[in-house]
Amino acid sequence: MSPVDYSIVWGYPLPLGGYADTESENADTIAENIACFETLCRENEIEYKVHKEEEGSIADIIKKETRFADLLIISGSLFYNDADSEEPGYYMRHTLHEAECPVIILPDHYECPVSNILAYDGSADSVYAIKQFAYLFPEWCNRKTYLVYANAKNKDIPDRELIEELARRHFPYLSMDKLEFDPDKYFNTWVTDKENAIIVTGAYERSYLSELVKKSFIAETIEDHRFPIFIAHQ
């Protein structure tokens, strides 16, 4: 994606390694990235189309493209390339807000997931994310799956019977856990033991990501660049 409206952000990451800023748009880099994308699609027999003549603000482009898409895949490290800004992670949060389809944030180096971690907090958004993940990736549902809940205020998993009934219909190798620790501080330590996992979460809010996955938590997880993260909101 090439920046059109610089009034929104100072710069914007481009797919597959390119980066455009306010000083200049590197047309050669953009062309190289598009060529690389097209080559990979052809080699893997994936039908594709490149949209080059998009007009409007970045926010408008993201909204329009994702409104008619099943999934948006973005690079976590590129979208955290604004470390020197006054609001680190702004590009990422802005994109997640504007996207009208589920999003997968990919680290630079990862292996195909062999397990799923479903972050559940009792909210409609967390249930929605679980369902969207199951609908989009049915072949991944037949893998070891952890449905985890952590909330210091509640002793029991909200609507446990209902969420278990739903989850087991899609994830036959499901285990459910109430984590007895502060997820903001210790979730990354806990998840390290889960080999090649993908994390599934609900809506990404401006100041928090529901009770289980707050902004500090999800930001730290993304910045670690270790696990793919699936985010969906209604």
Across the chain, which has 234 residues, the per-10-residue mean pLDDT values are 45 43 61 91 94 74 90 75 53 78 86 89 89 96 90 76 96 87 64 82 53 47 72 87
Nearest one of 135, 139, 120, 131 to 212, comparing CA atoms: 120
CB neighbours of residue 130 within 10 Å: 26
Residue 215 pLDDT: 47
d(CA 205, CA 231): 11
Backbone angles phi, psi at 40, to 5 degrees: -60, -40
Residue 82 pLDDT: 52
Q: Which residues pair with 74 in a beta bridge?
A: 105
Give start and end residues of each alpha helix (H) in the chain.
27-43, 58-67, 76-79, 90-98, 124-136, 160-170, 183-192, 215-224
Residue 33 pLDDT: 85
Which class for 118: exposed (0-12), middle (13-18), buried (19 or more C-beta within 10 A)?
buried
Question: Quick one: CA torsion of 166, 168, 170, 173, rounded to 10 degrees?
Answer: 160
d(CA 63, CA 99): 6
Map out the domains of the chain with their CATH numbers: 12-101 (no CATH), 115-231 (3.40.50.620)
Contact 198, 130 (CB under 8 A): no
d(CA 94, CA 103): 13
Contact 73, 40 (CB under 8 A): no
Residue 5 pLDDT: 42
User: Which of 9-33 are b and which e, b meaning 16 or more Cβ less than 10 Å from the residue's Cβ?
Assistant: bebbbbbeebebeeeeebeeebeeb
Distance of CA 54 to the CA centre of its chain: 24
Specify the DSSP class assigned to residue 113: -
